[in-house]
Amino acid sequence: MLARMLVLSLTSCVLAACGDDGRPGGEASATTTASTTSATASTTAEAPTSSSTAGDATGTGTTTTSTGEAPTGTTAVTSSTTTTTGETSTSEPSTGTTEPNFCDPQAVADTTAFTYVKKFDTGIPDKVLQASFYNGDADEVMIMSFSGKARRFTTDGTPKGEVFDVPAEALPQLDGATYDAKLQRGLLINQSCVLVEVDPITLAVLEPPQQLGFGMSVCAGLALGLDDNLYIASYGTDELVVLARDGLSEVRRVDMPVQVGLTGFDGIALIAGSEISW
């Protein structure tokens, strides 16, 4: 991917929330986060936190960049190495992990420090921004709302075209998206766990909608891993569910409260530059 990749939320080691008013019990949560890296600056766009009351979604309509902290729920181990030259010695910190394939956020600089750059108004009338993906082939970002409005942007936030509708097949309650660079298409998922493959620019449906199963409930985030598997945030069961790319078989699942110490699992994305498929 290009260095200016926009990241939605985080992988298994960097987890972000995406919000809506469609949670069981009317619970509110935060909307998706994103980061953009250019040759001169690295930013993260923290979308607004939304709140809800009995079917009324509220929030801001602005995508905002802000300084972030290292994500919680991981237990990276820090060690040090000592180099001795003549009569002097220096100690250099290094990071380690407690198990193979452990995602260490300290090893990916952009996950631990962000610099505020700017904010911009998306112009999308629905203020609950719920899904987005970075199209590396066109070097643009698609931002979509919970109710199904979409708009394309350059990576600096300049609109490319007007607001238009997400296909009905991905509605209601759109709640996640990712980009398949191999097939050059967008993948959308709603809270009913219906997966829709679309043209990344027009959002025209390319394949029949696919109802995913495997005991998932309230699918609230989607990422395509480097292992070509689908990573899905199952909000209703507090699990990360990993499926084969065709959606027909389960690879593994993670009990997030037990194994990661995270409740309310509500968004996921591959970390730009990471080589870890967790």
What would the pLDDT profile of 175-187 be if each residue is shown by its tens digit?
Answer: 999 999 999 999 9
Q: Which helix (H) or strand (E) holds 260?
A: none
Contact present, 46 and 65 (Cβ < 8 Å): yes
Looking at domain 6-69+105-259, its CATH class is: mainly beta
Model pTM above 0.85: no
- Measured CA to CA, the distance from residue 31 to residue 191 in angstroms comes to 14
- Measured CA to CA, the distance from residue 181 to residue 164 in angstroms comes to 23
Question: What is the edge-to-edge ordering of all strands in the sheet holding 129-135?
Answer: 129-135, 140-145, 149-154, 159-165
So where are the chain's domains?
Answer: 6-69+105-259
90: tokens are: 């220096």
Lowest average pLDDT, out of 35-49, 146-160, 263-277, goes to 35-49
Q: Quick one: pLDDT at residue 241? A: 95
Please give the backbone phi and psi of residue 25, each rounded to the nearest 5 degrees, phi first: 80, 5
Q: How far is CA 85 from CA 79, 80, 88, 153, in A?
A: 20, 16, 5, 52
* pLDDT band, very low/low/confident/very high, at 85 (cuts 50, 70, 90): very low
224: tokens are: 């395509």
Which one, of 154, 158, 207, 198, lies nearest residue 176 by Cα?
A: 198
- In tens, the pLDDT along 211-253 reads 999 999 999 999 999 899 999 999 999 999 999 999 999 999 9
| Count of Cβ atoms closer than 10 Å to residue 246 Cβ | 9
Q: Quick one: pLDDT at residue 180? A: 95
- Measured CA to CA, the distance from residue 157 to residue 160 in angstroms comes to 9
